[in-house]
Amino acid sequence: MKNLENNMNEEDIKIVRTTSTFDCGGRCPLRLHIKEGKIIRVEGDDYEEKDEQLRTCLRCRALRQYVYHPKRLKYPLKRDGPKGSGKFKRISWDKALTEIAKKLKEVKQKYGNSSIFLVTGGAYQGAYHDGMFAMMRLLTLFGGYSTHYGNISSEGAVYATQTQYTSPFVGHSRTDLLNSKLIIMWGWDPARMISGSDTIFNLIKAKEKGIKIICIDPRYSDSAVVLADQWIPIIPGTDTAMMVAIAYVMIDENLHDQEFLDNYTVGFEEFKDYVMGKKDGIPKTPEWAEKITSVPAETIANLAREYAITKPAALMDCQGPARSAVGELYNRGAMTLTAMTGNVGKHGGSAAGGLMGIPYGHMFFASRIPPPYRNPVETGLKSVRGSLDLQLRFQARCHINKIFDAVLKGKEGGYPFDVKFAWFVNNNFLNQLGNANKSAEALKKLDYMVIADLWLTPTARYADIILPVTSIAEKSDLIRPWPSGPYFVCANQVIEPMGECKSDLRIAEELADKLGLEEFEKYPDEKKALRFLIKLREDTRKNLRDINKFREDGIHRLKLEEPYVAFKEQIEDIENKPFNTPSGKIEIFSQRIADLNDPENPPIPKYMERWEGRYDPLIEKYPLQLISPHPKNRVHSELYLVEWLREVDPHVAWINPIDAEARGIKDGDEILVFNDRGKITIKAWLTERIIPGVISIFEGAWYDPDKNGIDRGGCVNTLTKDAYSPGGASALNSCLVEIKKFKGGT
Ligand SMILES: Nc1nc2c(c(=O)[nH]1)N[C@H]1C(S)=C(S)[C@@H](COP(=O)(O)OP(=O)(O)OC[C@H]3O[C@@H](n4cnc5c(=O)[nH]c(N)nc54)[C@H](O)[C@@H]3O)O[C@H]1N2
Ligand SMILES: Nc1nc2c(c(=O)[nH]1)N[C@H]1C(S)=C(S)[C@@H](COP(=O)(O)OP(=O)(O)OC[C@H]3O[C@@H](n4cnc5c(=O)[nH]c(N)nc54)[C@H](O)[C@@H]3O)O[C@H]1N2
Ligand SMILES: [Mo]
């Protein structure tokens, strides 16, 4: 009787406060009930200040199903069949690490360190056990490695904010939304993708307060359903056309804040000339934009007036629309409108920029790679982009959405390295980067591959060795909240590792021994390590005096005197606290971009048509635009196997009834979605929550090709392109497809 879960004897149950580390936009403080070494219950935040509680999301509520899932990997595995077959046999840690060390030495000797490829993702958001940083340290000591550049999530926004502000911390505290008079959510759906655990709560409070909320999205998103006074559907990839038409109305009707522009920006005149059509003879009127965006001219003009007149107003752009061929231009357009309305640096306003970060969330970031090493493979190499040095674009690297192209083509294909050994950590990139079929081909050809993961993912199926890693319940760590929250969180180990699982850090430590790298710094004592990490940064040190209490509480909330507002300092005192840009001001015109002399990369934000959008001639063959937002019931491909979460939101394609009827497709039909890159099957969901001409499939379903090469798992990246915008945005939302009823076969 004693072992029965429901027989809760109070004394037997210990409640441990902790958190999760998923790569989603939230961070839920959790209270895990532990009985006889097992998690028997998950409860959420019970902070007495109810308004500041960070409410637990559905993914964390399913934590037990995730941690104890029968398909968790428990032992190291060695490939025992063709690559991709999924056939593996159990081996010991000693054998696995001995083989890996031998291979590493061989590759280093024969091809040099640049042939060792470290492929990192953001899955684990801890400071201490994060394998990506452990492997960086280890391989640096080993003589270096090649890797990739370009943040898969937000490179459009990074490029845009670096260009115009030179800072990625463009956000406000979420409580500052309550100081707004108008909130424009432009391609932002935090009811699903979170953007900080306090976001949707504050937006609901804003709505209750009577603040008007407008959502601009090709989908009637969950956030629009809950919050919007007005939903403005738009053709994907055309947002910048609507933005410049808004600018047109403001200029034409003299509604813009000229004084703000004069004091704080450079280059508005160039932008104005473009908007008014001084050089190209095309005034960017609402009527002009209507033809491109499908948004009625009157709607655009009204929004322009409302946004210009209502002060303060928060224009909230995000990353989804920027994850496209037009990428950064969308964020640059949004930032330009926030300057034209003088909303930057003001309470209730917004600087836009898509990142929405406030500095506190990243406090543990810098602390992860002590001591700082430089990768010898990159020594002395400059940024590819020359004058616009984003420090991410080294000549030694390939773009993140070209990882598999680089594996396939190597130096002959113009890449700086030939891959002979690859280590995958914190990612399932076969599934998550563009053009999965091509990625699978690349992985078949790859000489040697190691992956560390909790699951036998589609990517792991191609590995030579799979190393099983611990989940967050099995280790203690400091956890990085996404950048919205002014709080620190930590995780406390609550159960013993499953099977023979180890954290990535432990794996790196043991591999260091096999490689004879005695200098590799180890942290055998977690408590000591945590103290060390906290001490590294002054702000953390100041805030977290009582580490034991922090450990017990699992969270430390910062009490800010007022909501954080990006660039408030600059706006209040531009003379003494200029922006970090070369001009010291917000750069609507960027000389650094102009110097690149790239016609695809204009120095002012412009509407541009690139590829696989509504106006690409390819639309004749593939008449539907495919967008792939992030799933609410998963974190990308993680949690895919958790049954509870599958039930919440079955994997379907959103299709407007007009498009479905034209093809004889009914609700619930199995359909084939296809283009030249691949074919997937999925169920059709007929809904007017998406505009005609566009279909939506959430990213992250597991790639599962059948013998005809049709992906029966419905992984959206079987269809997307492995390409990027001039600013480096992975263009996963620029994708054209056709659909038809699936009747089996090919
Ligand atoms: N079509 C389309 N594709 C997209 C996107 C999109 O919008 N559309 N979004 C992109 C974005 S923004 C992102 S961030 C990427 C995400 O791409 P990935 O980072 O590849 O996504 P995940 O599915 O989260 O994969 C993380 C993997 O790491 C594993 N993991 C978890 N914890 C640990 C750990 O502690 N150690 C190790 N070694 N492994 C661990 C998980 O089990 C999982 O298999 O996807 C991108 N792909
Ligand atoms: N539950 C959950 N939350 C997550 C994640 C997850 O996997 N699951 N992933 C996290 C990660 S790593 C990231 S980077 C963020 C990503 O956050 P985002 O990149 O902001 O999220 P997306 O879901 O890609 O897209 C946001 C919205 O943009 C809309 N959209 C797409 N194309 C266009 C367009 O051209 N114009 C306009 N106006 N709208 C468009 C989509 O319909 C969607 O509603 O989310 C984070 N949060
Ligand atoms: Mo992301």
Task: Say if CB 449 and CB 467 are below 8 A apart.
Answer: no
**Closest by Cα among 100, 63, 104, 678 to 430:** 678
Question: What is the spatial distance between Cα 736 and Cα 425, in angstroms, rounded to a whole number?
Answer: 31
For residue 226, the surrounding DSSP H or E stretch is helix 222-227
Q: Under a CB-based contact definition with an 8 Å cutoff, are residues 701 and 719 in contact?
A: no
630, 702, 735, best to mutate for ligand 2 pocket (most atoms within 8 Å of CB) = 630
Q: How far apart are CA 158 and CA 142, in angstroms?
A: 31
The number of beta carbons lying within 10 Å of the beta carbon of residue 402 is 23
* E strand map for 300-420: 313-317, 398-399
Q: How many CA atoms lie within 13 A of 656 on its CB side?
A: 18
Whether the CB of 153 sits within 6 Å of ligand 2: yes
Cβ count within 10 A of residue 370: 15
Nearest one of 65, 39, 193, 56 to 641, comparing CA atoms: 65
R_g of the chain computed on alpha carbons: 25
Closest residue by CA, ligand 1 atom 28 = 426
- Strands of 293-396, DSSP E: 313-317
- Sequence-ordered alpha helix ranges (H) in 119-217: 131-141, 155-164, 190-193, 199-208
How many other CB atoms sit within 10 Å of the CB of residue 87?
12
CATH architecture of residue range(s) 156-358+564-594: 3-Layer(aba) Sandwich (3.40)
Residues with CB under 5 A from ligand 3 (ion): 153
User: Cα of 320 to ligand 2 centre, how many Å?
Assistant: 4
To test the pocket of ligand 2, the residue of 193, 640, 648 to mutate (highest count of ligand atoms within 8 Å of its CB) is 193
Structure tokens at 587: 């750069």
Note whether 533 and 127 are within 8 A (CB): yes
Quote the distance between the C-alpha of residue 370 and its chain's center. Answer: 25
Q: Are the beta carbons of 419 and 451 closer than 8 angstroms?
A: no
CA of 22 to the centre of ligand 3 (A): 11
**Which sign, positive or negative, has the C-alpha torsion 246, 251, 254, 259?**
positive
- Give the C-alpha separation, 709 to 678, whole Å: 8
What the block records as the tokens of 600 is 């695809």
Instruction: Give residue 629 CA to ligand 2 midpoint distance, Å.
Output: 5
Find the ligand nearest to 427 CA.
1
Helix (H) / strand (E) containing 305: helix 297-309
Q: Which residues pair with 678 in a beta bridge?
A: 675
Q: How far apart are CA 190 and CA 196, in angstroms?
A: 8
Q: Which of 687, 676, 680, 682 is nearest to 736 (CA)?
A: 676
CA atoms within 13 A on the CB side of 347: 7
* 588 vs 268: CA distance, rounded Å: 6
Q: What is the DSSP letter of 363?
A: T
- Give the nearest ligand 1 atom to 323 CA: 7
Name the strand (E) or helix (H) holding 450: strand 449-453
Q: Are 360 and 487 in contact (CB under 8 A)?
A: yes
Three-state SS at 619: helix
177 lines ligand 2 (CB under 6 A): no
How would CATH label the architecture of 77-151+361-482+487-557?
3-Layer(aba) Sandwich (3.40)
Between the CA atoms of 12, 15, 16 and 20, what dihedral angle is there, to the nearest 10 degrees? Answer: 120
CA distance 455 to 702: 12
pTM attached to this predicted model: 0.97
Is the C-alpha dihedral spanning 125, 24, 441, 458 positive or negative?
positive
Match 């200040």 to its residue by tokens. 49
Which atom from ligand 2 is nearest to the alpha carbon of 634? 8
Gap between the Cα atoms of 486 and 371, Å rounded: 27
Mean pLDDT by 10 residues, the chain (746 residues): 49 92 91 97 96 93 98 98 96 98 98 98 87 90 93 91 90 95 98 92 97 98 98 98 98 98 98 97 98 98 98 97 96 98 98 86 50 75 53 74 98 96 98 98 98 98 98 90 78 96 96 95 74 71 81 90 95 97 96 89 96 98 98 97 96 98 98 98 98 98 97 98 94 98 87
Tokens read off for 121: 């993702």
Question: How far apart (Å, rounded) are the C-alpha atoms in residues 576 and 582?
Answer: 15
For the chain, count helices (H), then strands (E): 25, 26
Residue 184 to residue 315: CA distance in whole angstroms: 5
Dist CA 124 CA 559 (whole Å) = 27
Phi, psi dihedrals of residue 582, rounded to the nearest 5° = -55, -35
Closest CA to 717 of 433, 328, 342, 320: 433
Supply 498's token pair.
């499953």
- Cα torsion angle, 196, 653, 231, 250, sign: positive
∠ CA 129-75-640, nearest 5°, is 70
From the CB of 321, is ligand 2 less than 6 Å away?
Answer: yes
Q: Compute the residue count for the chain.
A: 746
Q: Looking at residue 390, what is its pLDDT?
A: 52
Q: Does a cis peptide bond (omega within 30 degrees of 0) precede residue 371? A: yes
- Residue 182, beta-bridge partner list: 212, 313
Rounded-to-integer distance, Cα 245 and Cα 100, Å: 57
**What is the 631 CA–ligand 2 centroid distance (Å)?**
9
Task: Say how far apart CA 574 and CA 95 lie, in whole Å.
Answer: 61
d(CA 302, CA 558): 40
Can you list the pairs that 576-585 forms with residues at least 24 positions away whose Cβ atoms lie under 8 Å? 579/165, 579/166, 579/167, 580/165, 580/166, 580/167, 581/164, 581/165, 581/166, 583/266, 585/264, 585/265, 585/266
CA of 470 to the centre of ligand 2 (A): 28
List Cβ neighbours of 300 (8 Å cut-off, separation of 6 or more).
242, 245, 246, 249, 286, 289, 290, 293
Is there an atom of ligand 2 within 6 Å of 474 CB?
no
Q: What is the CATH number of domain 617-741?
A: 2.40.40.20
Distance of CA 568 to the CA centre of its chain: 26
The alpha helices in 84-167, defined as continuous H runs, are: 93-111, 131-141, 155-164
Residue 655 pairs with which residues in a beta bridge? 686
Indicate the residue type of 731.
A
Contact predicate 698/631, CB 8 Å = yes
Cα–ligand 2 centroid distance for 301 (angstroms): 26
Domain positions in the chain: 77-151+361-482+487-557, 156-358+564-594, 617-741
Residue pair 36/12 in contact (Cβ under 8 Å)? The answer is: yes
Q: Residue 312, preceding bond cis, omega within 30 degrees?
A: yes
- Is residue 219 within 6 Å of ligand 2 at its C-beta? yes
Whether residue 147 contacts residue 512, with contact meaning beta carbons closer than 8 Å, is answered with no
